[in-house]
Amino acid sequence: DLMNGHDQIQSLIRTIPDFPKPGIQFRDITTLLKDPWGFKRVIDEFVGHYRYSPIDKVVAIESRGFVVGGALAHHLGSGFVMARKKGKLPGPVERIEYQLEYGVDVIEMHKDSIRPGERCLIVDDLLATGGTCDATCKLVETLGGVVVGCAFIICLPELKGAERIKRYDVHWLVEFEGE
Ligand code: AMP
């Protein structure tokens, strides 16, 4: 093989310029997930990394985080919890508002999704500024959970998300230059 596993994962991610708005380079994982080897390799990488860390709950961030988080929870034998956009969860929720470049966004979780002291792994497809993950971690802690790590397929180092959540153990598989 000429490429290592991480390079092969990276080569399966498609970049769509100017989506959803001008200037954004959208890192599209649909091309990675539709590839049987690619999807399996991503999950196997995470399983290898977290296999010996006791994890009670995988907390996945809407919506691409659900795909990776669901498969990972199954492999680790953990429970699976969804951190969702406003108004999607049917039961009583705890919520957190967080700042975007323009305006605010909201993340919600069911109040009964985590019991105090449970060890939680936060999962999303991509770490950009870290604002979404930072808010999700705070919400998990409000519910009494312990954040044992944050896992991403992709990190965009220029946006310094890893620094924003450096109080946690942060792990990712591939990096892309630019915003
Ligand atoms: P942030 O809160 O800035 O770390 O943004 C992370 C969230 O926005 C993740 O849920 C990503 O799916 C999404 N996101 C941000 N930037 C990109 C990008 N360039 N390509 C694809 N998804 C992105």
What pLDDT is recorded for position 1? Answer: 62
Q: CA–CA distance from 143 to each of 73, 74, 114, 131 (Å)?
A: 20, 23, 6, 19
**What does the pLDDT average to over 107-130?**
98
Our measurement of the distance from residue 128's CA atom to the centroid of its chain's CA atoms, rounded to an integer in Å, reads 11
Predicted pLDDT at 135: 98
Which residues touch 126 (CB under 8 Å, ≥6 apart)? 27, 29, 64, 152, 153, 154, 155, 156
Q: Judge whether residue 172 has pLDDT over 70.
A: yes
* Averaged pLDDT for residues 136-160: 98
The amino acid at residue 177 is E
Neighbour tally for 11: CB within 10 Å: 13
d(CA 108, CA 93) in angstroms, rounded, equals: 6
Q: Considering the entire predicted model, what is its pTM? A: 0.97
The whole-number average pLDDT for the span 40-63 is 98
Say yes or no: CB of residue 69 within 6 Å of ligand 1: no
| Band (179; pLDDT cuts 50, 70, 90) | confident
Average pLDDT for 79-96 = 98
Determine the residue of 10, 66, 126, 159 to mutate for testing ligand 1's pocket, defined as the one with the most ligand atoms within 8 A of the Cβ atom: 126
- State the Cα–Cα distance between residues 161 and 8, nearest whole angstrom: 24
Active-site residue (options: 41, 64, 84, 108) = 64
Tell me what pLDDT residue 3 has.
Answer: 85
Atom 5 of ligand 1, nearest CA residue: 128
Is the shortest distance between the CB of 43 and ligand 1 below 6 Å?
Answer: no
> CB of 150 closer than 6 A to ligand 1?
no
175 is catalytic: no
Q: What is the average pLDDT across 152-169? A: 98
3-class secondary structure, 52: coil
Backbone angles phi, psi at 84, to 5 degrees: -120, 165
Query: Is the separation of the CB atoms in 46 and 39 below 8 Å?
Result: no
